[in-house]
A and B are shown apart, each in its own frame.
Chain A
Amino acid sequence: MITVNEKFCKGCNLCTEFCPLNVYEKSKKLNKKGIHVPVPINQEKCTKCGLCTLICPDQAIKVDENNED
């Protein structure tokens, strides 16, 4: 499961751009901080490569290692 922590996300959308499998999509609406938080709409495509967690400058993403869901 992928979680984006809205408390830390600054809406740069580097994750949306650099995930090799296009798991994220930029949200259409602004949240209350006025940013476009990414939404992991294609979670089933995720290979858990970890690139997004390494690229997110604000440590806002968690990609679960195990496959319980």
Chain B
Amino acid sequence: MDRKMENPLMKYLRRDRLPTIFCAGCGNGIVMNTFFKGMEMAEIDFENLMLVSGIGCSSRIPGYISCDSLHTTHGRPIAFATGVKLANPEHDVVVFSGDGDAAAIGGNHLIHGARRNINITVICVNNSIYGMTGGQISPTSPRGSYGSTAPYGALERPFSLSDLVTAAGATYVARWTTAHPIQLSNAIKKGLQNKGFSFVEVVSQCPTYFGRKNKMRTPIEMMQWMKESSILKIKADKLEESELEGKIVVGEFQDKVEPEFTDNLCKLVEAKCVTGKPTSIRSAYMGG
């Protein structure tokens, strides 16, 4: 097909890797689109981006994007991203992670990244299930939802990741679903612009496992469900917890300014450096 007839976002993709491995209608592709849109709105230089991911379906996203990226071990993308950011604070560092990667095996890295307020943006594609490995229940699976490890429905209380990360100290936190692509693009833009730890939670569809096991067989049904069960945070704040059962609270959870970790560290190096010149951090890249 004539390239002029192609979607303009194709310029950011590694076309030799397409089509993606994602199932038809998977939310991961929508997250990619909204990320590009947010990146354009935030006027982030594509060449300056560094994408880091762990393991899981959503962690394959950076592999399709034609900028620098790191595909790391399960649960550890925030730890790797911290290293990348400290090695060169000029990079725009973005983590793509899923609910299993960020909240289960990588849960500690998540809360400590937020506690440090290091200037990275974490986009967490929360599809409430382990898609890649066959539909096991994750820490965000709604109570009563079915999975291959919960044939009678999940018994446990799920994490509200946005509340968790807000409590841990992140300076920008928002949750939207793939059925809110415009609001989601805006949240990604604000997350990228925030100088501190930003967390954008995207409630997304895994029609293949979550959908199939929970009577929503098509991606259309899943997105309709997300649209219908969403409630804005300002409204939800006035309701009791019991009234919010089965609802997806969307909106901004946090937006504040606080000292940032790499800034503080650079200042410390400058103040304590015996040679009078902070050489450490950028020298490998800038020759200074």
Residues of A within 8 A of B (CB): 3, 5, 7-8, 10-14, 17-18, 35, 51, 53-62
Contact = CB atoms under 8 A, between A and B. Distances in A.
B117 interface: no
A32 to B, nearest CB: 15
B7 interface: yes
B60 to A, nearest CB: 13
Contact of A54 (B1, B20, B181): B181
Contact of A11 (B24, B27, B29, B224): B24
Contacts of A61: 7
Nearest to B12: A59
Contact of A55 (B23, B181, B218): B181
A55 B219 contact: no
Contact of A8 (B19, B34, B178): B19
Contact of A62 (B5, B28, B219): B5
A10 B10 CA distance: 16
A5 B223 contact: no
B25 interface: yes
18 contacts: A10-B19, A10-B24, A12-B25, A13-B25, A14-B219, A17-B223, A54-B181, A54-B185, A55-B30, A55-B33, A55-B178, A56-B33, A57-B22, A58-B19, A58-B29, A59-B7, A59-B9, A59-B33
B37 interface: yes
Given A14-B25, A62-B8, A54 B33 contact: yes
